Each structure stands twice: as C-alpha cells, then as structure tokens.
Amino acid sequence: MIVGNMGGVGHYDYTVIGDSVNIGARLEGANKQYRSKIIISDTSYAQVAGHVIARELDVLIVAGRTEPIRVYELIGMANGAVATDHLDLVECFTKGLALYRKRQWLPAIEEFERTLRYFPHDYPSELYIERSKLYLDSPPPDDWDGAFALRTK
C-alpha cells in the first residue's frame, strides 16, 4: 500500500493505492451481499485474532483477483463485551459451514436452519441454505474449493 501525495507538478492528491486498498473496497461492498456491517480479510483477522470475536463467513474471489480470500464477519471485541448469544451464533454457523464445505448439503441445511431457529435474522445462514439447496440439485465440480466468486463491487 502506498499513502501520500500522488500526481505531478500542479496537480496532485493525497490518496492511498495498492492491492490492500482494492481488497478493502471489495470487502466493504461484500457487506451488502451478506447484510453484515464489518467484513475483514484473513490477513487482517490473523493480526487481531486474539482480540476479536469473528465468524468465518466465506471464501471469496473478489473482482479483479483470481486468488480466493477467506473472510470473517467481525462480531465484537474479545474482552468479554460480546454477549453469550453471539458466541453461540458463531458456534452454530461454523458447524453449518464445515458441513457445507464437506459437500454435505442436507446436514448443512439442517444446521443453518437450527442457527435460524435461535437467530432468526441471520442472513448468512439463509444464504448458505439457498446455496446448499442449489448444490443439491446441481452439485459443484469435483475440484470445487468452496470459493464463491463475488462479481459486484
């Protein structure tokens, strides 16, 4: 990432450029897809893992990149300020996500439905139920790595 005055004589702007900035912009837009507030990349999560509560949300291929990025939804700080039910949400959702990644569509649907019984407004669970149902009818290829191509900004 480069931060500072960019441009030439007579015309320059203070700005920031680089791959990290582009990824951040894509993840900001991804919040719309998941109806979340803060999504962080695996790189950011690795630096704050002991200090925050987050749930793995997806593995995304964002516009402008070919390599998948593991992303997390920030739930709160790990200093005890997170309600117990948020920890339960992370646990339930993580079980469903593990089943989904193992291509166990029906058990994944059941786990995400269980999550919704306790957390009825959890849109990511609804999203994974929808994806799992689609994969029941039309399974992904054998080399599927679980990554989802996010094409909108």
- At residue 119, the pLDDT reads 93
Query: How do residues 10-25 score in pLDDT, each as one tens digit?
Result: 787 876 666 666 666 6
Q: Is 29 exposed, middle or buried (0-12, 13-18, 19+ CB in 10 A)?
A: middle
pLDDT band at 62 (very low <50, low <70, confident <90, very high): confident
Q: Mean pLDDT over residues 65-75, rounded?
A: 89
Q: Mean pLDDT over residues 112-129, rounded?
A: 96
Take residue 45 and report the two structure tokens written for it: 């999560």
Pick the closest to residue 60 from 144, 153, 148, 151 (CA basis).
148
Pick the closest to residue 107 from 135, 71, 86, 145 (CA basis).
135
17 HSE (CA, 13 A, CB side): 7
64 HSE (CA, 13 A, CB side): 12
This prediction has a pTM of 0.83
* Residue range of the domain that includes 94: 2-150
Helices (H) and strands (E) in the chain, counts: 5, 6
Q: Mean pLDDT over residues 45-50, rounded?
A: 91
Domain count, the chain: 1
